[in-house]
Amino acid sequence: MADEKPSKKKTEKPGGDAEDPGGKKPAKKAEKKPGAIKLSGAPRAASFWIFLALMSVLAFQFMRQADDGTDMLALSEFHRQIDAENVLKVTFFGESRVEGELKNTITLPSGTDVHEFRTDLVPGAVVALEEELRAQDVEITAKPQGTAWWGVLLGFLPWLLLIAFWIWIVRSIQSGGNKAFQFGRSKAKLISPDKPQVNFGDVAGAEEAKDELEEIVEFLKDPPQYSRLGGRLPKGVLLVGPPGTGKTLLARAVAGEAGRPFFQMSGSDFVEMFVGVGASRVRDLFEQGKAHAPCIIFVDEIDAVGRHRGAGLGGGHDEREQTLNALLVQMDGFEANEGVILLAATNRPDVLDPALLRPGRFDRQVVVDLPDLKGREGILRVHAKQLPLDEDVELSLVARGTPGLSGADLSNICNEAALFAARRGVDHVAMEDFERAKDKVMLGTERKSMVLTESERKLTAYHEAGHAVIGVKVPGLDPVHKVTIVPRGHALGITASLPEEDRHSYTRDWLNGQLAMLFGGRVAEEMTFGEEKVTTGAGNDIERATAMARRMVTRFGMSDRIGLMAVGDSEHEVFLGRELVQRREVSEHTARRVDEEVKRILDDALARARGVLAENRELLESIAVALLDRETLNGDEIQMLLEGKELPPMVVEVEEDQLQLGLPGHEAPAPATPQLAVPEPLPSPG
């Protein structure tokens, strides 16, 4: 990061925050606007519990008043008790109710014992009752008729509850909490600068991308330094690259370095089951960004909402396209969003809408590609900081043996190496653990539970030996790294090659040699066991060779008969492009010529493989016998066999059960190779 010039003056930022130019002090939070008071979660929860407590007290008071210990006595029964002179004292409440006490307890027909009672009176009957009771010397009192406070409240209770419910609904809509009707609010998370963050020192293998993003961070910290000559703050930065190359990690580093509000959101968070929610969330997200400007908004996997409009059967009014339209307007529409930088990441830039990629929206597209040798070594050193490494560990050798791997793959290698060391019960991670972890990640996990017959073991050994002989005898091919008949992952026999240096393009000679190597396994089976004994083991070889030869003819212009013409465009899916149906771009005559040319290239590769193996039959036998004896050969051992030397005695490791074998003929998955001039990796055969 570039050092900033010292200055005694403080720089006034667009959001009204004063910050020293050194950028060491964290930026102040944006002041809240008047009227934008929002209750936090604790006060809202407290108000709910207070309301619930009041309702409980009210219900208890009502039940206590309703059940005051007196029993309801019918008016006729009250008259019978007067006639029986069983009334001790009474109290009149106006002309509607009387309460009293009997001299002797009576039992009603319902089985209820009554001593204290209450009775509702008929209007106008109080005077006659009073005369009868006076004649019997009954104690008479009178109280004015009134309504208890709980009675009035009980009458208004339904209306109070309805009003309280609607107030709660309105408050929920206005508040920022995750409550009812909140699906239109943005789900972006504001990352606080106080939390432990990743910085640019934790990112390796993407130096150019770091330089681009460091300039964005400096722009945020000191806008006048760049705007004094008429420059403006970039509106958007798009991180593009294959999966696992560190796009999200770079965004986290920007969040840790910027010292400004950083909103994080995924592209899939915009889409909801309700129509119009995506566009509403986009608007709300940028409103929050403008309130905290200058700030950064990070949208991961933006291709979830930024796909090309008009593709497929959805028409022009589906939910995703409305969300994209809102995003386009917010990034560069009629109203300017000064100080809001949109940082996005995707590994599918080919499906994004052109309106989203134009300057003014995404001003910069930062490519985060697979790391080279120096980058891989830097990534390994970053991930190995927390590992107790042994003295024999050389990360440069590990980086040299992992071409084409991404940062996520290298992180996985370090983790697997630590796990291997923990299984061995040691305190340090040795180079042996890194080698085993590298083989596990690149070639697959060993499968030791399969036991094969001796004939199947022999067939597998000759199949893999055929690949190895072609690999060491055809000039220009990558050196053979390892040959094994121990199954790994989905592969049940592997011949792996590793390039000596990072390759950025493939020559025609290399591709033809690769085709011959793919056919080496089938040719070795034919030469050793006869054509009637060949197996299905070469199925994957044939499939990969056919695809490679077709790309040579249709895409790379490596056919003299077809020439420099791209034939067909079958790589694109129908619903990702602009067309509902695929157009016919190749005539039947041209398609026939393409098929004939592909067949010719494959036949030439097969003939070349047969010639090489016929000339090196002794080497084929020696490698196959060594595989049957050792099951795994590395590059140095293959070189010794090539020079006619005897292999050193084999060291048997008891903890490694090397006696379990795999099925023949199932080919290895493609070892990772750099994604260079060809769209798909061109692996060594298995």
Active site members: 464
DSSP 233: -
Q: What values do phi and psi take at 375, rounded to 5?
A: -65, -40
Token duo for residue 557: 């212009």
The encoded tokens of residue 395 equal 């990360």
- The residues that bridge with 429 in the sheet, in sequence order, are 389
Phi and psi at 72, nearest 5°, equal -80, 125
Look up tokens 């440069």; give the residue.
396
- Under a CB-based contact definition with an 8 Å cutoff, are residues 114 and 120 in contact? no
The DSSP call for residue 202 is G
Distance CA 313, CA 13 (A): 47
Give the separation between CA 87 and CA 75, rounded to whole angstroms. 13
Give me the torsion for CA of 35, 36, 41, 45, rounded to 10°. 30
Q: Look at strands 18-19 and 11-12 and give their pairing.
A: antiparallel
Q: Which helix (H) or strand (E) holds 230?
A: none
d(CA 505, CA 484): 28
The closest alpha carbon to 272, from 299, 304, 306, 238, belongs to: 304
Tell me which residue of 257, 236, 192, 426 sits closest to 340, measured CA to CA: 236
In 159-290 the beta strands, taken as DSSP E runs, fall at: 189-191, 236-240, 262-266
Q: Is 564 helix (H, G, I), strand (E, B) or coil?
A: coil
Distance, CA of 488 to CA of 492 (rounded, Å):
6
- Tell which residue, 634, 628, 625, 636, has the closest CA to residue 658: 628
Q: Coil, helix or strand for 296?
A: strand
DSSP per residue, 459-518: HHHHHHHHHHHHHHHSTTSPPEEEEE-S-BTTBSSEEEE--SS--S---HHHHHHHHHHH
Q: Which residues contact 40 (CB under 8 A, 6 or more apart)?
A: none
Give the bridge partners for 236, in sequence order.
Answer: 342
With CA atoms as reference, report the closest residue to 99 among 78, 124, 77.
78
